[in-house]
Chain A
Amino acid sequence: MSHAVNADTAGTAGSDAGPTPGLSPKAKAALSEGKKAERRLGLLLCAPAILIMAAVAGWPIVYSLWLSLQRYDLKFPDRTEFVGLENYVTVLSNPYWWNAMWVTVLITVVSVAVELVLGMALALIMHRTLVGRGIVRTSTLIPYGIVTVVAAFSWRYAWTPGTGYLAETVAGGDPVLTEKIPAIMVVTLAEIWKTTPFMALLLMAGLALVPDDLLKAAAMDGASAWQRFTKVMVPVMKPAILVALLFRTLDAFRIFDNLFVLTAGSQGTSSVSMLTYNNLIKGLNLGIGSTMSVLIFIAVAIIAFVFVKLFGTAAPGGDGGGRR
């Protein structure tokens, strides 16, 4: 606590009055004893959490990295050996991997884009609703409250020719889940239906950050409703939008359950997670499977990096990062 306060006052003093030569090093030296103790206490308090994180997250990551550098197939356990980056060459030059990558990117981009638009619309409705606010919010959140696998099964039955109402009405009896592009569309639709409420919730929190006076001022300044939305509301809530996009992009990129239930990756509809699962768990190929998990890990890290560093998204838990 006192840490943050110190940093703040130093910051304002610095920006207002310029550097104060001679004073700050002295102050630093005087504080260092107390600060050291404080830091030690801080580390001690963090230690249990760090140990648990290392055990449940750190070790599996390191172990996957290690496995990815070996030829390690449980079907041929005696041929296990260290092969360096050979697995990576194998995966990255494999058309199945690249197909899965494009499917994943397609589902991610389309679903997140549609969710953003729909989520914003829902958020605005929930924010503006005066009558029956509770009912509107609850009913909006229902899809998000249903277990993904259960929802995916209901989608599958709905699209099954002969019994499903969607297959009969929308698809005209065609087995849409057995063709690549229609199947991907159905999966994307299921994703959107499922997670738009989450997007709407995050965006609604952002809407609450836009002061009413600002919108009134814009109205007085001559802005139409659409201009108030694009020129005032969206820029002011940009940090919240970016956080929502980051969360959803990371989530969507790791899509698994909807695909698993709806197509099980058939007809080239596998996502990268699906492909990894097939290699690692079904194929028992620990080397190749781990290589794929490491590649997904890297892709997710890149997405997060792009959002946080390039778009200036406030990292979850950080403060003020988005204000630049």
Chain B
Amino acid sequence: MAEIVLDSVTKQYPDGAVAVRDVDIEIADGEFIILVGPSGCGKSTTLNMIAGLEDITSGELRIGGERVNERAPKDRDIAMVFQSYALYPHMTVKENMAFPLRLAKVDDATVEKKVRDAAEILDLTQHLDRKPSNLSGGQRQRVAMGRAIVRNPKAFLMDEPLSNLDAKLRVQMRTSVSRLQKQLGTTTVYVTHDQTEAMTLGDRVVVMRGGAVQQIGAPQFLYDNPANLFVAGFIGSPAMNFVPAALEHGVLRSALGDVPLTDRVRGLLEGADAPREVIMGLRPEHFEDARLVDEAVRAKGVTFTDHVDVLESMGSDKFAYFSLQGEQATSAELAELAADAGAADVPGGGVSLVARIAATSTAVEGEPADIWFDADKVQLFDPANGRNLTYSG
């Protein structure tokens, strides 16, 4: 077990392309950290550099206080779980798990014991003599985990370990990965493109984009205080709503009506040197069916009326979709997020907005509904560079 420090680590390929740019991350001993971002953001490259599978162009990587830039993967004492599981097809489950120990010339009795223990933890005891080809996806995934834990390495690296599982199994395995990490207390770096995994698994999350770190923090902190448009749009499902707005005399003019600036927002904006045109961000859960909101509370927010395009009932609550008049918020970050989500392929113009409202709401699809939102929860972004103008980190 050890801490891992990336000190302005950069990866540049011989053709000049920069995959990872000046990444600084300090991972504490025993911490579970998630690298998340859309494909091509450099998260896997970063993981491979920690593993030693890719050279570091510049910067320093320290594991347990020692510089390891030049060390071969086998001399770094870290274990890795691959998206494809990378199980050796010619070996049984037992041989797969014992492989790193055999290479380390551990004696037979110890190998036997460690493999048994790991198999016990992962519930693989009855499959030890089977070949990977005879296992289900979930079992293979557990064998891959087992091969990592038998060695008791300084750190685990996981490269999208759950992406090849079906949705239901992925949720189950997510909790067991989390439990396993807590049980073992081993420093873990976990790469995923799935923001739900990032939110639920990690002690801290590193959001990456285009090879650069956007923000590092606890999942809830990132959710509440995104540093920029990209983080705001990437974290959270359904994603944050973005509506163009103009700051005029202490009021935000937008397609949702005039939104008064609350004291909190006003205070944060003061030092931010905000432009006139901004992008207003609102989480879906900050909306509510106006009829279900007390008069007193209602006064603190804004109510607007619009046609409900689509209404999805999730049982516990409802998602109401609206298409607003006016221009869509535009910025490089939002375009990238939309491309990552494949939104460019979906037809539809104008601003679309999703509100998460109570299940008891009487809103009807195709009919107008009164929707209220909390003006104090508004986040404002600079369209030019995506910076969060109301950031309170």
Contacts and interface: CB of A to CB of B under 8 A. Distances in A.
Interface of A: 15, 211, 213-214, 216-224, 227, 231-232, 235-236, 238, 323
Most chain A beta-carbon neighbours within 10 Å: one of B72, B78, B86: B86
Interface residues of B, number: 25
A216 B89 contact: no
Contact of B103 (A15, A214, A221, A235): A221
B99 interface: yes
Given A232-B88, A235-B90, A236-B90, A216 B82 contact: yes
Interface in B81-107: 82-84, 86, 88-90, 99-100, 103-104
Contacts of B104: 222
A313 to B, nearest CB: 15
Contact of B147 (A213, A221, A224): A221
B53 A219 contact: yes
Secondary structure at the A interface, as helix, strand, loop or mixed, is helix
B90 A217 contact: no
A235 B99 CA distance: 14
Contacts of B80: 216-217, 220
Contacts of B73: 216, 219-220
A240 to B, nearest CB: 13
B103 A213 contact: no
Nearest to B148: A220
Residue among B72, B74, B100, B151 with the most chain A CB within 10 A? B74
A323 B132 CA distance: 13
Nearest to A215: B86
Contacts of B53: 216, 219-220
A220 B82 CA distance: 11
B51 interface: yes
Nearest to B75: A222
Given A211-B84, A216-B51, A216-B86, 6 more contacts: A217-B80, A217-B88, A220-B53, A220-B73, A235-B90, A236-B90
A216 B79 CA distance: 11
Q: Which 10 A-B pairs have the closest CB atoms?
A: A217-B86, A221-B100, A213-B86, A235-B90, A222-B74, A222-B103, A220-B80, A219-B73, A213-B84, A213-B82
B233 to A, nearest CB: 31
Nearest to A214: B86
A214 B53 CA distance: 12
A158 B103 CA distance: 49
Interface string B47-77: 0000111000000000000000000111000
Contacts of A217: 80, 82, 86, 88, 147
A70 to B, nearest CB: 51
Contacts of A211: 84, 86
Nearest to B133: A323
A211 B83 CA distance: 12
Nearest to A221: B100
B90 A224 contact: no
A220 B88 contact: no
Contacts of A235: 88, 90
Contacts of A213: 82-84, 86
A216 B73 CA distance: 9
A183 to B, nearest CB: 42
A165 to B, nearest CB: 42
Given A216-B53, A217-B80, A223 B74 contact: yes
Contacts of A224: 74
A197 to B, nearest CB: 28
Contacts of A323: 133
B79 A236 contact: no
A211 B86 CA distance: 8
A227 B73 CA distance: 14
A238 B100 contact: no
Given A213-B82, A217-B82, A223 B88 contact: no
Interface string B31-55: 0000000000000000000011100
